[in-house]
Structure 1
Amino acid sequence: MSDSDGKKPLGLRGSGPRPGQVKQSFSHGRTKSVVVETKRKRVIVPKAGAGKGRGGGVHASDPSKRPAGISDVEMDRRMKALKLAKANEAEEARKREADDLKRQEDRARRRAEIDAKEREETERKERALKKIADEEQKKRDEVEARKKVEAEKKAASAPRPAAAAPARPATPADAEAVAARPAGVARKMDRQPEQPRRDNKSPRNKATPSDGRRSGKLTLNQALGGAGGRHRSLASMKRKQERARQKAMGTQEREKVVRDVQLPEAIVVQELANRMAERVADVVKELMKMGMMVTQNQAIDADTAELIIEEFGHKVVRVSDADVEDVIHSVKDDDADLVARPPVITIMGHVDHGKTSLLDAIRHTKVVTGEAGGITQHIGAYQVTTDGGALLSFLDTPGHAAFTSMRARGAQVTDIVVLVVAADDAVMPQTIEAIHHAKAANVPMIVAINKCDKPDADPMKVRTDLLQHEVIVEQMSGEVQDVEVSAATGQGLDKLLEAIALQSEILELKANPKRAASGAVIEAQLDVGRGPVATVLVQNGTLRRGDIFVVGEQWGKVRALIDDQGNRIDSAGPSVPVEVLGLNGTPEAGDVLNVVDTEAQAREIAEYREHAAKEKRALAGAATTLDQLLAKAKADESVSELPILVKADVQGSAEAIAQAMEKIGNDEVRVRLLHSGVGAITESDVGLAEASGAPVIGFNVRANAAARSSANQKGVEIRYYSVIYDLVDDVKAAASGLLSAEVRENFIGYATIKDVFKVTGIGKVAGCLVTEGIARRSAGVRLLRDNVVIHEGTLKTLKRFKDEVKEVQSGQECGMAFENYEDIRAGDVIEIFEREEFERSL
C-alpha cells in the first residue's frame, strides 16, 4: 500500500531487532560465541526546522503535522512526560555508576586488607624462621666453643716430663713476671697444671679411651660428672658397663618360651598378653593387622584370641567359665582318717505342736519365750550334751505354712528327723509336709508324740493317722520309732534321747576332720555391728579362723567363729553349727560353703556364680518369642499389682515372706515384690519405694534415722511386723482393695412391644405392656428379638399416657424410647434389670 502523497510507507526497521554476536568466557579458558538479537526502543524525535508552539512542544503550532485527535495541551503533556522519563533515566544511570564505583572501592579496600594480612603473616613466619635459625646458629657456636675449650684442655693435659724441683721460669723475663705476681696468684698458677690431670679421669671427658673403660679409682667428683654440665646417674653408668660387657661376650638371642595359654570363651586383650607373657602393644598391633581396632581393656572372642596365640607361637588350651570351680576339690576320704561325728537331728512338725518347747526341755533353756507370738520364725542350730556324754546337734525349724523352704532345707542337711505331733491335735497339714520332706531327703524318722500330759491327749489317734501317710510306728508293727513325751513335765525325754542315740549308732556317722572344710548355710543375716553373718553347719573337715572360703555368690575370710552359746572358738569340726563372720555379702540360706586356697580363687568363683545367676534370672524373666511377649504384655495390662518392699532380719524369713507373697492373688490382682533383703531399712529402700509407690514392710527390723526422715518427707508408709500371720493378713487385705467390685444383675421386669410410634422431637417410641415385674426409668434395659439380645442400654423416656413417670407396674401400658437406638419392632421383648455391686476379698 502506497501513500497518495508519494511518501514511503510506515515501517519498523528502525526499532526492530538487530542480529549480533556475543562472546562468552568460561573457566579453564573456554569460550563460546552466541548469536543474539538486540531490540531498540522507538523514540519520536521532532524533525529539524519544525515549529514550536506553546510550551515548546513539537508540532504545537502546526496542527497538520501532529497526529490526528491530539490537542496542544495533550501534546505538551506528552513532551513533559518524555523529558521527565529522560531525566529519570539519566539519574538512574548516575546512581548505577556511583554504586559500581563504590563496589569497586570496597573490593579494592578488602583486597588491600587481605594483602596486608598476608604480608603480616609472611613477615611473622619469616621472623619465626629467622629466630629458629639464630637459635640453631647460637647452639652451633656454643658447641664449637665447647669443642675448642675441650681441645685446649686436652692440649694442656698432655703428659710432660716430671720435674724433681718446682717449675721455674725459663727466661729472666719470665722470672721477673713471676716475681711481680702476688703470692696467692702465684700459688694458684703453680697448681694450675695439676687440675687438668684430675679432670682427665672424669667420665664426661672426651679424651677418655674409645673403649669407654675407666682407669684408676672412681672418685665422687667423677661419679657426679665433674663440676658443670649434666650429671650422669650411677644406674646409667651401670647400664653402660652392662652393655659393654654383653658386647664383649657377644650377644646371644634368648630361646623363646612356648606357653600353654588357657583360653576361656571371652578374654580381655591385656589378660591375653599377660597369659602369653608378651607385650600388650604387640598384641594390639597384631589385632590391628587383622582389622580389629581394639584397646587393651576390650574383650575379644575365643576364636580371635586363638589366632593371636598361634601367631605368637604358643599353645591354646580351651577352658570353660565353669572350670573356675574345679579348684573346689572333691577329696576322697581315706578310711583311716574317718572318725565318728555327732548326729544332726532336725525337729519338724506342725505349728504350735511344741517343737521348740521340746528342744528347750532337752537343752534346759527357754528359747520359746523369746520368739514373737510364741512361734518359731527362724531356723536355729544348737548342740546338746546328754547325761551320758553324747554330743547331739539339733536344728529347730518353723512349723508355719510360709516356712516350707526352711523345713526342706533342714531335712536336706540332717541325719535324723524328729517328727513332733501333738497328742491332742493329731496329724495336721504341716505334719504331712514334714513327712514328705523327710522321705524326699531319705533320712530316718523318729515320731515324738508331744503333750501327752493333757487330759484330751490320744496317742493312738496320732499313730492311726500316721498310717494314712505310710508312717508305721513300732507299736503298729512298723520300723519307725515312736516316743510319748511331754515338754512341760519332761516325760519321756530320756527315752527320746535313747532312741536318737540308737538311730545314730545304726547309721555309723563318720567324717574326716583333717580335710578342707565344707558345710551348709542354715541361716544368714546382716548384723549392724558385725556385718554379714552366716549360721553354718560344718558337714566335713574342720573350719578354722583365717580360712578363705566361697559360699554361693559370696566369698570371705573367716574372721571369727561363734558357737551356739555365743562363745568364740578357733575351729569347728564336723556336725558343729557355728556363726561365721567375715563375708563380703549376705549369702542365700541353703548355699554350700567350701574352703579354697587363695582369695583370688574365691573371688573368681563368686564372680562366676553371680554372673551365671544373673543370666539365669534374665532368661527366666524374658519372653523368647513375639507371641510370648504379646501374651506377657496383655497379662500385665489386665492384672492389677500391689508393689511392696520387704526387709527382714534373716535370709530365711525374707525367703518365707517372698514365697507367701507369691501365693496371694488371683487372675486380677497379684502382689509384686520389688525387693527383699536382709538388714535394717535404709534411705535407698525408701527411695525405691517412693519411685514405685510401694509401702516398706519391716519384719523384725527397724528403719534408721535417715530412712525415717526420708519416709516422712516423701510420704512413704513403713509397716513393722514381728509375726508372719499379721504380715500376710494385712497384705492380703490391701490386695483385696485392688479387686474390682463384683456386679450382680437383678431382673425386675419384662415388657412386650405392642406397636411403634414416631414422635416429633423424640424419635421412635414403643407402646409396651409390662407383662412381669416393674419397669423403672433408672434401670438398664435389653431388647430381645426371638430371644436374642440385639441391644443393651438405658431408657431415654418412660411415659404413662402423656406424663413422664419413674416406674410402671405390671399389667399397665406405657411408652418407652431407647437412648441412641431406634431399631425397635412390634413383638420385641424388653428386659428390665438393675445392677448391684459387692466388695470382694482374696
Structure 2
Amino acid sequence: MSDTDGKKPLGLGGGPRSGSVKQSFSHGRTHAVVVETKRKRVVVPNPAKPGAPAGGGSSGASHLGDPSKRPAGISDAEMQRRLDALRQAKAREQEEAAKRAAEEREREEERQRRREEIETKEREDRQREAALRARAEEEERQKREAEEEAKNRAAARKADVLGTQRRQPAAPAPAAKPAEAEVPGDRGAGQSRPRPGAAAEGPAAGGPRPGTTPRKTDRERENRETDRGAARRGDEGRRTGKLTLSAATSEDGGRQRSLAAMKRKQEKARQKAMGFGQKAEKQVRDVQLPETIVVSELANRMAERAADVVKSLMKMGMMVTMNQVIDADTAELVIEEFGHRAVRVTDADVEQAIDSVEDKAEDLVSRPPIVTIMGHVDHGKTSLLDRIRKANVATGEAGGITQHIGAYQVKAPNGQVITFLDTPGHAAFTSMRARGAHVTDIVVLVVAADDAVMPQTIEAINHAKAAGVPMIVAINKIDKPSANPTKVRTDLLQHEVVVEAMSGEVQDIEVSAHTGQGIDSLLEAIALQAELLDLKANPNRSARAAVIEAKLDVGRGPVATVLVQNGTLKKGDIFSVGEKWGKVRALINDKGETVTEAGPSVPVEVLGLDGTPSAGDTLDVVNSEAQAREIADYREKASKDKRAAAGAATTLEQLMAKAKADKDVVEIPVIVKADVQGSAEAIVQALEKVGNEEVRIRILHYGVGAITDSDVGLADASGAPILAFNVRANATARGSASQKGVEIRYYSIIYDLLDDMKEAASGKLKAEIREHFIGYAKILEVFRITGTGNVAGCQVTEGVARRSAGVRLLRDNVVIHEGTLKTLKRFKDEVKEVYAGQECGMAFERYEDVRAGDVIEIFEREEVQRTLA
C-alpha cells in the first residue's frame, strides 16, 4: 500500500511538475507526500499582434490617400511622402515587435536551460550524498555488529567457565545477544525464539537479573531498528527517534541545518533558476564635478564605495584618503574609469538660481515711469521736486544740498503715478548720479536760466546718454530778472542736446520752482514721453529691484531703499542683494507707511538684511535661504579675489618700482563712517582724488553706522582721525577715544569734510623754493690776499649785491659754481649791500677759481607754502 493511500495528490495546476516531500513527526515517524510545483508563467507577445495597430493605421493611410478626404493645401507629392513615412513607421514597429518577441523567447529558453541544469546538479548531489551516507551507515552497522558479536562470544566463554565453579554473587551480569535473541519484524507476536541452551543459563548460571538488563536492551534495540528503517527508506540526515544524551554526544549525532536555513537555500535556488539572481546592469550617472571635490563626496555622487574610489586613485599613484580633496581633472579620470559621465560645474553656477526667464507678452502690464532729476548744484532740482510733491525736502538736507538719493511717488493732475529719483548734483556724487541714471526711464535735466550749463550739467548729460534714456530739459528759475533761456538752449547745442525750440527732438519746458510756473507742462511732457515708451512689467513673478540707498539704522538694523523693477516684492520673500542676503521683515513706502508688497516702479525701504549692501546692487528674490546664502558667499569670495588680484603687483619689477615710488609719498590715514552707503562711497571716492605725487589720503576703513570701540581701536593703532558724516560715537566709544587721544571730526556737509582734508594734505606738502634775482656783478680783476685767498674786484652792473644772498659764478654764460659769499667789501670795510654802478670786493666760500671777465649772479630764495588745487 502506498503512502498516499489512494488519495488525490496535492497539486497547484498550470503545468505541474511532480515531486515528493517527506514529513517528520514525533517518535521517529515519517510520511512522504507527493506534491506538484507550478512553473512561472511567461507571457510571450504574439508577433502577429503588433501588426494589428499597423493594420488599423492602414485605414488612416487610406483615408489620407483618398483625394476627397485629403486635407486642404496638401499636394500629391506631400501626400505620397506622408504615406511612405507611415508605411516605414509601421514596418519598423513590426520589426521591433518581432525582435522583442525573439529576445523574450531566447531569455525564456536560457532560463529554462539554467533551471534544468540546476535541478540536474541538485539531484545528482542528493543521490551522491545519500549513497555516501548509506555506505557510512552500513559500515558503522557492521562495525557495531562485529563488536557486539565479539562481546557475546566472550560472555559465552565466561559463562561456560563459570558454570563449573561456584558463582560469585558480586559478579557483573554479562550482556545478552539481542541481535540473535530477537528477530526484527516478529515483535508483533510478543515472543522471541530462545537459542539452544538458554534455559541452562538461568540466574544460577550467572545470567542477567530480571527487570534490569532487558529494559536497557529493549531501548537500544528499538533505536537500532529505527536507524536501520530510516536507512532503508533513504532518510537524508534527519534525526529519528527520541533525542537522548548519548545520541546528542555521539559522533554521528552532530549538528544539523535548521529549517530556516533549508528554506533560504531553496528560495535562493528557485530565484537563481528563474533568473532573478543575475547581477543588475551598471547605471551610468551624470556626476556634477566642481573645481575641487572631496573623495568621499565624489564616491557619493557616483553611488560607488569610497574604498573603491580610493583604490582607483592609488592605482594612479595618488596616496589619498576618503577625506582628502582632489582637483577636477583627476576626479574626471576617476569618473570615466567607473563608467560615468563627468559634468563640469563652476562656483558661478550658483547664480543660475536667479530667475532670468523672459516674460510673456500677455503677462506684461503697464507700470509707472521712473523719472530722475539731474543737474548742477543749486540749479533747483530738489526745489522743483518739492513743488511737484508739495513737500519741503531741502530743509531736511544739511546746507540745503541733497546728499542722498531720494525716491518718491507722486500723482500727476491727469491721475498718472510717476516715480521720481532726486540725485545730488555735486561732483562728489558722480557714482550716485550714475546709479540713478541706470535705473531710470526718463531723465529731467534741470538747468538754471540765470546760470547756463555747468560742469555737473555736462556730466549728467553724459550719464543720460550712456544709459540710453530720453531726456527732458527743465529750464528753472525762469521767474528771475536775469533769466536767459535762449542762452541755455544755445549752450546745450555744444553738447549735442538739441531742444524742440531749436528744431530738435528734446522737449524743453520753462519752469519756476518758486512760483510753480510750468509744473503742469512738465508733468504733461513726462506723461507723453512715458506713453511713447510704453513701459510694461510682469507683476506676477519673483521680484527684481535696484538698491537706491542703504544705511545702518539704530534699532532697525541694515535698511535698504530699493526700487522694484520687475515682479512684486512681498513680505517674507528671501532675497540675495550683492554680497548680502536677507528675508523681507517689513516694507515701508515713501510716506512712512508699512505695506505688505511693492509692485513694479514702487520705491520702498526693506528691513531684514544681514548686512548693509552697496548702493546700485541688484536685489533678486530666490527660492530658499540656503540658496541666498550660497550666492552671497560666492559673490563675497569673488569680490575679495578681485580686489586681491587688482592690488597685487604682477612682477617683482613692478613691486619694487611701486615700493620705490611710495617711499617718498606722504600718506594721511583716515577712517570714514557715514549714515548711508551711498554717502560713504561718495566720500571715499572724493578723498581718493585728494592729493598728488607727494601726498595722498589712505582710507583705512569705511562703513555705515555709529562709531564703535573697534573703530576707535583701529584709529588708535594707526594714528588716524575718524571722519564722521551724520553719525555720532556712542558713549563707550567717546570715552575710549578721549582716553586714547583719538581725534573724531563730525561733519554734516561733504564740502566741509573735503576742504578740511585738502588743508591737512596741503600741510604735508614740502614748501616751494622760489628764487628772486636781485643783481649782477662783473669781475674786473682778481687779487691774491694772504690769509683770505683770491678776492674778485667787481663792479655791480645791475640791481644790488647783498652779503646774505646766494651767488652763482657764470663763465661764458655757463654756471660753474653756486654758493654763498664769504666777504663783501667796499674799499676796506665790510658792507651788507652794494648797489649798481659801485665797485666792491667779493670772495666765495670755499671756492677760489675766479677769473677776470666772469659774471656773478646774485639771487635770494623764498619759501612758499603749497596747497592742493
Partner of 2:404: 378
The equivalent position to 2:687 in structure 1, one of 661, 674, 688, is 661
Q: Of 407, 417, 420, which aligns to 1:391?
A: 417
Provide the residue aligned with 1:542 in structure 2: 568
Q: Does 1:579 align with 2:605?
A: yes
Determine which of 661, 664, 667 is the counterpart of 1:635.
661
The one of 480, 483, 488 aligned to 2:514: 488
- Please give the per-residue CA displacement for 1:748-780, whole angstroms capped at 9, x wherever unaligned: 333344555666665555454444444333222
Q: Match of 1:624?
A: 650
Cα 1:765/1:273, change in 2 over 3 Å: farther
User: What is the aligned counterpart of 2:459 among 417, 421, 433?
Assistant: 433
2:642 is the alignment partner of 1:613: no
One-letter amino acid of the structure 2 residue matched with residue 743 of structure 1: I
**Match for residue 453 of structure 1 among 479, 484, 491:** 479
Question: 1:113 aligns to what?
Answer: none
Question: Displacement of 1:815 after TM fit?
Answer: 4.7
Q: Residues 567, 624 of structure 1: CA spacing in aligned structure 2 closer, same or farther, 3 A cutoff? A: same
Distance 1:494 1:622 in 2: 56
Q: Write the mapping of 1:558-597 to structure 2, written as runs, cut at 5 A.
A: 558-597=584-623
What secondary structure sits across from 1:475 in the alignment?
Answer: helix
Structure 1 residues 757 and 537: alpha-carbon distance in aligned structure 2, compared to 1, 3 A threshold: same
Question: Which range moves more in the overlay, 499-508 or 424-433?
Answer: 424-433
Q: Secondary structure at the match of 1:431?
A: helix
Residue of structure 2 equivalent to 1:415: 441
C-alpha distance in structure 2 between counterparts of 1:274 and 1:795, whole Å: 91
Query: Match for 1:445: what amino acid?
Result: M
Matched, 1:314 2:340: yes
Q: Does 1:748 align with 2:774?
A: yes
Name the CA distance, whole Å, in 2 between partners of 1:303 and 1:334: 41
Aligned to 1:684: 710
| Deviation string, structure 1 residues 344-388 (Cα, Å, up to 9, x no partner) | 111112222222222222222222211111111100111122344
Equivalent residue number for residue 791 of structure 1: 817
Structure 1 residue 804: Cα displacement: 5.0
In 1, Cα distance between equivalents of 2:316 and 2:791: 87
Whole-angstrom CA distance in 2 between matches of 1:822 and 1:563 = 87
1:535 and 1:729 mapped to 2: Cα distance?
Answer: 30
* Counterpart residue number, 2:244: none
- Aligned residue for 1:718? 744
Distance 1:771 1:391, change over 3 A: closer
Of residues 340-349 and 672-681 in structure 1, the stretch that sits farther from structure 2 once superposed is 672-681
Q: Residue 43 of structure 1 corresponds to which residue in structure 2?
A: none
Q: CA deviation at 1:602?
A: 2.1
Range 304-313 or range 795-804, more displaced: 795-804
Match of 1:346 among 372, 375, 384: 372
What displacement does 1:284 show?
A: 5.6
SS of residue paired to 2:691: coil
CA contact (8 A) 2:355 2:542 kept: no
Q: CA deviation at 1:509?
A: 0.9
Secondary structure of the corresponding residue to residue 472 of structure 1: coil
Match of 2:624 in 1: 598
> Measured at CA, do residues 724 and 307 of structure 1 come closer, stay the same or move farther in structure 2, by a change above 3 Å?
same
Q: Which of 275, 291, 298 lines up with 2:301 in the alignment? A: 275
Q: 1:258 to 1:535 in 2, by over 3 A?
A: same
After superposition, the Cα gap between the structure-2 partners of 1:211 and 1:398, relative to the gap in structure 1 and judged at 3 Å, is farther
Instruction: Give deviations 1:316-346, integer Å, cap 9, x for gaps.
Output: 1122332222222321111111111111111
Residues 1:711 and 1:566: Cα distance change in structure 2 (over 3 Å): same
Give distance in 2, aligned partners of 1:564 and 1:703: 28
Distance 1:291 1:581, change over 3 A: farther
How much does 1:786 deviate?
A: 2.1
Gaps of 5+ in 2: 1-253
**Percent identity between the aligned chains?**
77
Amino acid paired to 2:405: I
Matching residue of 2:760: 734
- 2:673–2:706 Cα contact (<8 Å) kept: yes
Cα offsets for 1:491-534 (capped at 9, x unmatched): 33222222222221111111111121112111111222222221
Provide Cα deviations, 1:172-231, integer angstroms capped at 9, x if missing partner. Answer: xxxxxxxxxxxxxxxxxxxxxxxxxxxxxxxxxxxx9987999xxxxxxxxxxxxxxxxx
Q: 2:698 aligns with which of 672, 680, 690?
A: 672
CA deviation map 1:233-273 (0-9, x unaligned): xxxxxxxxx99x99999999787654322222333445445
SS, match of residue 574 in structure 1: coil
The verdict on how the C-alpha distance between 1:825 and 1:508 changes in structure 2, with shifts beyond 3 A counting, is same
1:466-545 superposed matches below 5 A: 466-545=492-571
CA distance 1:570–1:752, change in 2 (3 Å): same
Distance in 2 (CA, whole Å) between partners of 1:819 and 1:683 is 60
Aligned-residue offset at 1:704: 2.0
What is the rounded CA distance, in whole Å, between the counterparts of 1:495 and 1:278 in structure 2? Answer: 74
How far apart are the structure 2 equivalents of 1:675 and 1:212?
Answer: 80
TM norm structure 1: 0.67
1:841 aligned onto 2:856: no
Residues 584-636 of structure 1 deviation map (CA, whole Å, 9 limit, x = unaligned): 22221111122222223222222222222222222322332344334322332
8 Å CA contact 2:413, 2:520 repeated in 1: no
Counterpart of 1:558 in 2: which secondary structure?
Answer: strand
- Other-structure match for 1:356: 382
Question: What is the rounded CA distance, in whole Å, between the counterparts of 1:574 and 1:678 in structure 2?
Answer: 28
Amino acid aligned to 1:674: L
The letter for the 2-side match of 1:648 is A
- Measured in 1, the distance between the counterparts of 2:600 and 2:721 equals 44
Partner AA of 1:517 in structure 2: A
Partner of 1:551: 577
User: Which deviates the most, 412-421 or 632-641?
Assistant: 632-641
Query: Is the contact between residue 793 and residue 842 of structure 2 (CA under 8 Å) also seen in structure 1?
Result: yes
Contact persistence 2:737–2:743 (CA under 8 A):
yes
Bigger Cα displacement from structure 2, 290-299 vs 450-459: 290-299
Determine if contact 2:673/2:727 at 8 Å carries over to the other structure: yes
The match for 2:395 among 369, 380, 393 is 369
Shift of the alpha carbon at 1:566? Answer: 1.7
Q: TM-score, normalised by structure 2?
A: 0.65
1:775 alignment partner, one of 801, 815, 836: 801
Task: Flag structure 1 segments of 5+ consecutive residues without an equivalent.
Answer: 1-207, 215-241
User: Using the alignment, how far apart are the partners of 2:784 and 2:322 within structure 1?
Assistant: 88
Cα distance change on mapping 1:592 and 1:813 into 2, 3 Å: same
AA aligned opposite 1:622: A
* Deviating more after overlay: 762-771 vs 543-552: 762-771
**Distance across 1 between alignment mates of 2:336 and 2:492:** 69
The count of corresponding residues between Structure 1 and Structure 2 is 611
- More deviation, 317-326/646-655: 317-326
1:389 counterpart letter in structure 2:
G
* Match of residue 403 from structure 1: 429
Partners of 2:777 and 2:721 in 1: CA distance? 53
The CA deviation string for residues 264-313 of structure 1, in whole angstroms up to 9 with x for no partner, is 23334454454345566665665566555666665432222223334454
